[in-house]
Amino acid sequence: MRHKYNAIRTEVNGIKFPSKRESRYYQDLLLAQKSGELLFFLRQIPFDLIGGVRYVCDFMEFWRNGEIRFTDCKGFSTDIYKLKKKQVETLYPIKIIEV
């Protein structure tokens, strides 16, 4: 079944990703981790929002220089995504990077 935004589901290392973009970014993170630039990363980080709504960020990255990044792989930004992203950035002291 095709994704409604034409994303192609992909599997890497036994992990299923909703898009090729997200799976490629995952592979980039693995390379950065192997090089030592990236210490480690987490996938699918949930944020609870007002009204029982939940936003899930694709990656939380811990870099060797002390930087912590929250990254979302987006090919298409919906209005609902933009609203949830704004709420997360208002409620939590973070900035979500889109790739």
Q: Which domains does the chain have, with CATH numbers?
A: 10-98 (3.40.1350)
What's the confidence (pLDDT) of residue 42? 98
| Strand 54-63 relative to strand 38-48, pairing | antiparallel
Burial of 36 per CB tally in 10 Å (0-12, 13-18, 19+): exposed
What's the confidence (pLDDT) of residue 1? 52
Is 2's pLDDT higher than 70? Answer: no
Asked whether 69 and 60 are in contact (CB, 8 A), the reply is yes
From CA 48, how far away is CA 63, in angstroms rounded? 25
| Secondary structure of residue 17 in the 3-state scheme | strand
pTM for the whole thing? 0.88
Average pLDDT of the residues in 73-89: 93
Is 9's pLDDT higher than 60? Answer: yes
